[in-house]
Structure 1
């Protein structure tokens, strides 16, 4: 029941943590989308300004062509006036027409050169705009990477804090257990007893042959306890909060047993005085041995029960750890897939933007060529 409640509490805690993390990620995604929308709006505005500038340049070129057309129309009129006034000067009129044609050809060559130069400048401008878009995309990717690194750093800091708290709790618990064992050994020494451990693992108390001898005959108790505690500390550093709760309950139970032991000691002292007066030291020794064996047996049963509970909790913790690892791997796979989809989306958006810019350039170039063709046809008709 305790492990089930602890597991349900842990699930609620992780659900809350995941919900907060999802909310933070959604907030970041919304901010990124808002930034991207603002950038798109600024780019569309820049594109409109560029189109207006191109239209303005085309209008200026058309006005220049119109002025050139008017100039070419005025020159034949003036030559016709001179021809009417000077009917006998045919050679001079032919020379005038040749000069006009040569000037017209020069102006057409200059106009072609100017158009080629403007086309080159426009192409260079498009290349620079494309480079700027690439740099903006790279900047967006780097911003997303920085946000991801910050999130990972926060997660690692939280894990470190939880590990520190777990280590402090286990250290305190280890010190408490050592203190209780020292108190138990002190009580046994004060009564002049030693612990005998049989081959079957049964503990019993006997009268010590020498007061300064070892406390146990067989495996040293403190070495067993120290090795057990060190092994438990090393193995439970990675356990969850449910095991800590179980250990706290066991700790409280040990405190209660210690209090009961103190009460039994006080009762035993009273009984010992009575037994000394009645039956002598042999009966006192027998009663002490019987009470100590009983308490050791009870402690042994409680220890076995605690070890079984700990093994059960360790199994549940291992199962939950495997589930967490599987969920983490699924989350990492989904994040990788999301990153790949984002990169593919950026690539497609970049290609779409390039295609749209090329279509706009081709349309402008086509309309410009059509206007030039019409102007050239009109000028040739007038010259003829």
Structure 2
């Protein structure tokens, strides 16, 4: 805000000086009409440029207002997060209370379980005694039916093995299809990750360019400061030139009046009616005035060029800031996509490991069943 204020002050001073220059140079003679027209055009151009600078100041104020609004929204979001954190702490305290209650219930259930285990142990002892009595009574009948029961059990196991083998084959085919689908998914994810890595290289290049742009913005700000200082110096120099022109005109008028009132000692009159010294002094004064006018016009042109450079540099700073913000947004989106793909890849790999483990377990069980069937045969 300091730089636009300096530019505003310098522009007002430039406008005032231009008007003063027009007033001081307006009554000299009709031969300077073309110079007055040029100065009027320069004054109008300076006024237009001052209006443009005011418009830029209004735009900067709008940006500051938007920044204040965004800061307020961020503070509101922070307050909401703090409220959620407080609620979570209250919920944790409630969970701790529930945990203590559950621990008490667990201890109570453990005591009940110990009592039940004692009853179970006593029941088992009674059961074992009755079983022994039953076995003694059934020993004779059991010997006769042992071979029949054994053959019947073997037949039942064979049927179960055949059913298990059919089910295992169906599951194995399903697992093979799922593994194939997962492998295709993993290959597709690998390709997508490769594409993201290439995008990351592009993002790194954008980040490097963003850093360079930031450095260039800093340099441009330094240039703006230097240009502002130079602008003030040119305005001061123009004021000095205008004062010098006024002084020279006053000196010229004084010498003209003084030489006009004094008479020649000899009473001689020059053919053109003027003193040669006065003519020479007038020519020197006119030459100095012309030089000062040229320097004044040149200084005004430099001021205009500097103001245009300031406007152009401010536009470049805005574009560089926008490019940096866009590159940061693209980088964040790429990082989020990469994290999502990595989670999906880990999930797919875990599922593949689980399926391979199940397949290995089923294969071992199938081999065991085949061995049992071979022994039965």
Common fold: TM-score over 0.5: no
Greater radius of gyration (CA): 2
TM-score (norm 1): 0.34
**Structure with greater helix share of residues:** 2
TM-score by length of 2: 0.34
